[in-house]
Amino acid sequence: MTDRVEIPTRMLVHALIREDGTVDAAELYTVANTLGMSDQQVRLCIKRLLAEGRFTHEGRGRKAVLHATGATARFLAPNADFLRHAFRQDAGHAPWDGTWHLAAFAVPESARTVRDALRETLVHLGGSALQGGLYVCANAWEPYVEDAAGRLGADAALTLLTTTDLRRGGTQDPVELARDLWPLEEIADRYHRLGQVARPRLERLTGSDPVPPAELLTIALELAAELTRAMDPDPLLPPELLPRPWPGARTREVVARCWAALHERAPRDSRPAVFRVYADITCEAAERTRN
C-alpha cells in the first residue's frame, strides 16, 4: 500500500469515542503516537475541541477523560446521514423528482460572522450559489438548513422554497445546470484518489494473512479520512444529474467492502466508533441492495 494518507488529529479523536461518549486520553495518545502524531499535536487538538465546546474533560494529560457534548453529536450526525443517502442513491432507492430546493437569506453586515457561517453551512449541505444570498440544492435539505439557521440565530432571515422550473442565464436543462453549478470534475478526481487508496487496502483486508489491530485501526482511519475528503465537497447530486460513468458510486462500493472486512476482522470488544458508524451504514446499504 504505497498511497500515504494524512489523518487529521481531530478525526482520530472522533474515531475513539466509545459507546458511553467518552475518549480515554491514554488510548488517544498511544494510538496517535502509533500513527506518527506527536503529543503536542494531540494536546493542541484537544484544546481546540474543548474551546469549540465539542468536548468537556476531567483530569489532565494521559489520565484525562474527554466527554463528547451535544455539539459533537450534531457535528457527526449529518455526515452519517449524508453517507446513508449516498448509498441509497447508489442503489437506485432515491430517484430525483425534478425538484430544486432553494434557500435565500438576508443577514446584515453587522452580523457578518453569522452570514459567513450560514453561507458555509449551505455549501457544506450541498448547495451552490445562484447569486448573492440565494443557494440551490438538488436534495431535500430543509431540516438541516433550518436547524443550522436556528443555532446561528438567523432563522428569521431565512426563506425556503422549491421549484421545478429553474433557469440560470440561458440554461434550463438540469444536467447542464448541475455541471455549471458544481465542480464535478474536481469531485470526480477526489473519488479516483479514494479508489486508489481503497483498492490495495481491500486486498490486504480480504487476504489470508493476519492483520494486527493497530493496522486495522490505521486502515479504518485512512479510509475515513479519504472518504471525508471525497464527500465533503460532494453535493450528492441525484444520479440523473451526473455525468456517466460517475466514479462516486463505484468507489463507495469498494469502500463498503473494506468496511465489511474491517468489521469482520476487528475484535468486537475493541471496535472504536469509526468502525461502528461506517460498518452500520454500509451493512444497511448491503441489506437494501439484497432486497
SS (H, E, C) 165-176: CCCECCECCHHH
How confident is the model at residue 48, as a pLDDT?
Answer: 94
pLDDT by 10s per residue, the chain, length 291: 557 788 889 988 988 887 678 898 998 998 888 888 999 999 999 999 999 999 999 988 898 999 999 877 666 655 778 888 999 999 898 999 999 999 999 988 888 999 999 999 999 999 999 998 999 999 999 999 999 999 999 999 999 999 999 999 989 999 999 999 999 999 999 999 999 999 999 999 999 999 988 788 888 888 888 998 999 999 999 999 999 989 999 999 999 899 888 888 876 655 566 666 676 776 666 565 555
CA distance 160 to 118: 14
CA distance 67 to 70: 10
Strands 65-68 and 100-105: unpaired
Neighbours of 102 (CB within 10 A): 17
- Three-state DSSP class for residue 19: coil
| 45: its cell numbers | 487538538
CA distance 65 to 58: 5
Scan for cell 489532565, then name that residue.
60
Identify the helix (H) or strand (E) that includes residue 206.
helix 184-206
How confident is the model at residue 264, as a pLDDT?
Answer: 82
How confident is the model at residue 141, as a pLDDT?
Answer: 96
How confident is the model at residue 2, as a pLDDT?
Answer: 54
| 51: its cell numbers | 474551546
Indicate the Cα dihedral angle 64, 69, 75, 81, nearest 10°. Answer: 110
How confident is the model at residue 268, as a pLDDT?
Answer: 65
How confident is the model at residue 265, as a pLDDT?
Answer: 82
How confident is the model at residue 196, as a pLDDT?
Answer: 95
162-170: long-range contacts (C-beta < 8 A, 24 or more apart)? 162/99, 162/100, 162/101, 162/102, 163/99, 163/100, 163/102, 164/98, 164/99, 164/100, 166/100, 166/136, 168/130
Label residues 21-39 b or e (16+ Cβ within 10 Å = b).
ebbebeebbebbeeeebee
Sheet (strand 55-58) strand order: 22-24, 65-68, 55-58
How confident is the model at residue 144, as a pLDDT?
Answer: 94
